């Protein structure tokens, strides 16, 4: 006697229930073996069509040319009738007429059964065996129908699990991209994002190389955001600290160790404990400081100025530079041993001119950002403005240069909707529009313009601040914060 539950038990114990393919393979293996079928298949029903999910022989191999060898004309009728179909009949390969020759077709015992989900036919199970075998008996038909129906329940849960896993992975990717906080569609930057994701998982020292303004610190912060480190992220610029103060800044000092040391002070290595110390422009560091830094990188030890006691630190270092450290090491202006220590994992941040397809993307991002910051409502840039941006070389500042250009243009543009090319040109500093404001500090210019925009909107709305707020496209909290900041009454 055929035992449905035994077969179902065999199926579920031999497959990965989270994988629909594994479930179907196990099902085909058990049913073809139990019923001595030559082959079996399972087809999904959707939009009036059938899609074969699996077709396997009794020997455990995939059926080839399924469109030619499976009786699709019969299989398509099952979802319409909602009934099983069992018969002994000739099977003719597609594209070959029967004619008068019986050698062109084979006699097969066929069984097609529908599977339902919430009352709808969602699939068709199929088995076939040779003419020398008996036709499918009623108890076999019932067993096959029940097994396929049981398997359909597993499949629906499996597909739900796979869909949820896919959505979760998408969500994780979106979260990771939010943590990376950099915008690009260029292949070189997408590779960089992938490198950032991998580097976040290891404690290695990283050297970030790139021109000024390419976003080296953004890369360092992205590594930190994805790392899960519990300590803080601290950034320092090695070229902005006086040589005499560098050791104290990095390693700390004891009270009285030098003139002005009125109290003990922790250095940046200690402050960034269990986190990341980002050392920008590491190529500007003096040679004697490089010796102390190398010791810390090698041994994880620091010695505060004025102390003879070694302290252990577990601070990860990310260094960045726009200079060619290999050339500096060859010229002995940068210690070769330190260079060899930090160059192990080097990543390159591409220049903006090497990924010009990102210019419109970044420009529009900055427009939206400054709309919020300055209380403006620009919809974007004119085509001529984008042409000007694409023509620039960006050797002076890369993405930072583009950002400042957009901010300047938004402050002085007369059109309230779209930004034109006039204030994006390189000679803008000599234009009459700039000359009339030479005596005014830049921040004052921005504040004056923002106040003028808000007051004009309120006046245009007859003094109705709510209407003015909506007209400017500002959030309520942002709008009233700006009213207070600029002292706008009434």
Closest to 402 (Cα-Cα) out of 353, 350, 449: 353
What is the 3 state secondary structure string of the chain?
CCCHHHHHHHHHHCCCCCCHHHHHHHHHHHHHHHCCCCEEEEEEEECCEEEEEEEEECCCCECCCHHHHCCHHHHCHHHHHCCCEEEEEEECCCCCCCCCCHHHCEEEEEEEEEEEECCEEEEEEEEEEECCCCCCCHHHHHHHHHHHHHHHHHHHHHHHHHHHHHHHHHHHHHHHHHHHCCCCCCHHHHHHHHHHHHHCCCCCCEEEECCCCCCHHHHHHHHHHHHCCCCCEEEEEHHHCCHHHHHHHHHCECCCCCCCCCCCECCHHHHCCCCEEEEECHHHCCHHHHHHHHHHHHHCEECCECCCCCEECCCEEEEEECCCHHHHHHCCCCCHHHHHHHCCCEEECCCHHHHHHHHHHHHHHHHHHHHHHHCCCCCEECHHHHHHHHHCCCCCCHHHHHHHHHHHHHHHCCCCCEECCHHHCHHHHHCHHHHCCCCCCHHHHHHHHHHHHHHHHHHHCCCCHHHHHHHHCCCHHHHHHHHHHCCCCC
Q: What is the pLDDT of residue 472?
A: 81
Q: What is the pLDDT of residue 451?
A: 80
Whether residue 14 sits in one domain with residue 150: yes
Residue where one domain finishes, among candidates 328, 348, 368: 348
Is residue 181 included in any domain, yes or no?
A: no
Whether residue 333 sits in one domain with residue 198: yes
Q: What is the pLDDT of residue 247?
A: 92
CA angle 389, 392, 395 (to 5 degrees): 130
Question: How many whole angstroms separate alpha carbon 280 and alpha carbon 99?
Answer: 83
Is residue 174 included in any domain, yes or no?
A: no
CATH number at residue 92: 3.30.450.40
Residue where one domain finishes, among candidates 316, 348, 380: 348
Residue where one domain finishes, among candidates 348, 372, 404: 348
Torsion of CA 292, 295, 299, 300, to 10 degrees: 30
Whether residue 274 sits in one domain with residue 390: no
Whether residue 380 sits in one domain with residue 342: no
Backbone φ and ψ of 55, nearest 5°: -145, 115
Cβ-Cβ contacts under 8 Å for 391 (sequence gap 6 or more)? none
CB 207 within 8 A of CB 346: yes
54: its two tokens:
């699996």
Mark the ranges of the chain whose per-residue pLDDT is less than 70: 1-2, 92-105, 166-176, 426-446, 477, 489-490
Whether residue 282 sits in one domain with residue 191: yes
What is the torsional sign of CA 180, 182, 186, 188?
negative
CB 180 within 8 A of CB 198: no
Is residue 171 included in any domain, yes or no?
A: no
Is residue 328 included in any domain, yes or no?
A: yes
Closest to 342 (Cα-Cα) out of 287, 302, 282: 282
Count of domains for the chain: 3
CA angle 172, 175, 180 (to 5 degrees): 125
CA angle 270, 271, 273 (to 5 degrees): 65
244: its two tokens:
């005499």
CB 158 within 8 A of CB 117: no
Whether residue 129 sits in one domain with residue 12: yes
Whether residue 338 sits in one domain with residue 358: no
Is residue 182 included in any domain, yes or no?
A: no
Whether residue 155 sits in one domain with residue 272: no
Strand partners, 209: 321, 348
Whether residue 359 sits in one domain with residue 393: yes
Whether residue 124 sits in one domain with residue 227: no
Whether residue 128 sits in one domain with residue 9: yes
Is residue 385 included in any domain, yes or no?
A: yes
Q: Are strands 49-57 and 39-46 parallel, antiparallel or unpaired?
A: antiparallel
Is residue 173 included in any domain, yes or no?
A: no
Domain that holds residue 395: 353-485
CATH number at residue 395: 1.10.8.60
Is residue 343 included in any domain, yes or no?
A: yes
* Other residues' Cβ atoms within 10 Å of the Cβ of residue 8: 18
0.75 surpassed by pTM: no
CA angle 263, 267, 272 (to 5 degrees): 135
Q: How large a percentage of the chain has pLDDT more than 70? A: 89
Whether residue 136 sits in one domain with residue 216: no
CATH number at residue 336: 3.40.50.300
């Amino acid at each position: 006697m055929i035992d449905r539950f035994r077969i179902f038990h065999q199926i579920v114990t031999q497959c990965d229930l989270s994988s629909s393919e594994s479930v179907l393979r196990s099902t085909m293996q058990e049913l073809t073996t139990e019923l001595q079928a030559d082959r079996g298949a399972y087809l999904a029903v959707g939009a009036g069509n059938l899609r074969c999910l699996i077709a396997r022989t009794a020997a455990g191999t995939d059926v080839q040319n399924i469109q030619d060898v499976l009786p699709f004309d019969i299989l398509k009728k099952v979802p319409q009738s909602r009934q099983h179909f069992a018969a002994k009949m000739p099977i003719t390969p597609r594209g070959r007429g029967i004619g008068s020759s019986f050698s062109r077709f084979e006699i097969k015992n066929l069984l097609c059964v529908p599977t339902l989900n919430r009352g709808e036919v969602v699939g068709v199970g199929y088995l076939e065996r040779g003419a020398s075998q008996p036709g499918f008996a009623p108890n076999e038909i019932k067993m096959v129908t029940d097994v396929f129906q049981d398997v359909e329940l597993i499949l629906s849960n499996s597909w739900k699990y796979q869909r949820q896993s896919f959505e979760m992975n998408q969500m994780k990717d979106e979260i990771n991209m939010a943590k990376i906080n950099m915008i690009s569609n260029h292949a070189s930057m997408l590779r960089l994002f992938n490198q950032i994701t991998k580097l976040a998982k290891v404690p290695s020292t990283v050297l970030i190389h790139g021109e000024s303004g390419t976003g080296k610190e953004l890369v360092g912060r992205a590594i930190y955001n994805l790392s899960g480190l519990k300590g803080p992220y601290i950034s320092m610029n090695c070229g902005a600290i006086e040589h005499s103060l560098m050791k104290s800044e990095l390693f700390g000092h004891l009270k009285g160790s030098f003139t002005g040391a009125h109290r003990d002070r922790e250095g940046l290595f200690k402050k960034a404990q269990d986190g990341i110390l980002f050392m920008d422009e590491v190529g500007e560091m003096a040679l004697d400081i490089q010796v102390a830094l190398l010791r810390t990188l090698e041994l994880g030890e620091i010695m505060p100025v004025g102390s003879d006691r070694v302290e252990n630190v577990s601070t990860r270092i990310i260094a960045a530079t726009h200079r060619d450290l290999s050339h500096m090491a060859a010229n002995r202006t940068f210690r070769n041993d330190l260079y060899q220590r930090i160059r192990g994992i080097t990543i390159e941040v591409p220049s903006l001119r090497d990924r010009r397809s990102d210019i419109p993307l970044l420009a529009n991002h900055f427009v939206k950002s400054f709309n919020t910051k300055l209380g403006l409502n620009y919809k974007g840039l004119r085509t001529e403005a984008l042409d000007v941006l694409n023509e620039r070389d960006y050797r002076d500042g890369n993405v930072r240069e583009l950002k400042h250009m957009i901010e300047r243009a938004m402050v002085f543009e007369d059109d309230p909707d779209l930004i034109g090319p006039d204030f994006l040109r390189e000679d803008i500093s000599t234009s009459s529009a700039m000359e009339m404001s030479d005596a005014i500090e830049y921040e004052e210019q921005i504040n004056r313009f923002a106040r003028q925009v808000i007051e004009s909107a309120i006046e245009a709305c007859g003094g109705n601040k709510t209407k003015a707020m909506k007209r400017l496209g500002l959030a309520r909290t942002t709008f009233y914060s700006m009213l207070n900041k600029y002292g706008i009454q009434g």
